[in-house]
Copies of this chain bind each other. A is one copy, B any other.
Amino acid sequence: MKVKEIMDKNFIGVDLNMTIVDASIKMESHKKFTTPVLDSKNTLIGWITSLDVTRGLRENHKYVKDIMHSTEEIVDLHQDEPARLAVLAAAQHKLVSIPVLDDDGKVVGVVRTFDIVKTLSKLYEIKVTNIFKAMSTELKGVSWDELMEASAIVTKRETGKRVTAKEYEQRIKNSTFGEAIWATGGLEKFFVGLIAIGELVIARKVAKARK
């Protein structure tokens, strides 16, 4: 996944000679704590936060250019960089938003931490059923029922508890990846379980083909 896939394209910008009062009105109406300072071609030339604005208003500065941070102080990302760099930058520099540039240094979006949280939590909140669906699509020639049967057998083997294919299906319908990790005792164990199921289902497929 690339930075451009998680960035917000509906960002706002202010310009160098905008008054601080106008910039504050714009930021408030769009509920943005930070905004890039852009020239007429959308090139990034600075950055202001609402804390720069409060100081500017208090100290009677007039223009955005009087309070902005220069580009040297700004952490930015290129739109084609891996999205995880946005995660690392936000965590490391304690940022709430990061401007995203194209090859010409033009701002094409802004990555916001709550969007990162949303993306990361989607991952965590993903239904276990989806993983099995992906598995079932990948394992051509294996039906969903065969996959559930194999899962029930592996569960019995690993936990000692008998479970039917139907019960297994019901269980994964109601649980998320996050819950499954806790339930199985960690990410590696969760994967080992999935791999065991994959192996068994393939072995059964091969055995069937031989008959």
Q: Which residues of B contact A105 (CB under 8 A)?
A: none
Q: Which residues of B contact A188 (CB under 8 A)?
A: 126, 130-131, 133-134
> How far is B124's CA from A178's CA once the two chains are assembled, in angstroms?
11
How far, in Å, is A119 (CB) from chain B's closest CB? Answer: 9
Residues A185 and B121 in contact, CB atoms below 8 Å apart: no
Q: Mark A114-139, 1 if CB is under 8 A from B, else 0.
A: 10111011011110001101110111
Is the C-beta of A173 less than 8 angstroms from some C-beta in chain B? Answer: no
Q: Which residues of B contact A183 (CB under 8 A)?
A: 1, 82, 84
Q: How large is the interface on A (under 10, 10 to 19, 20 to 34, 35 or more residues)?
A: 35 or more
Residues B88 and A114 in contact, CB atoms below 8 Å apart: no
Which residues of A are in contact with B by a Cβ distance under 8 Å? 1, 21, 24-25, 27-28, 31, 33, 49-51, 53-55, 57-58, 82-84, 87-88, 90-91, 94-96, 112-114, 116-118, 120-121, 123-126, 130-131, 133-135, 137-139, 177-179, 181-183, 185-189, 191-192, 194-196, 198-199, 202-203, 206
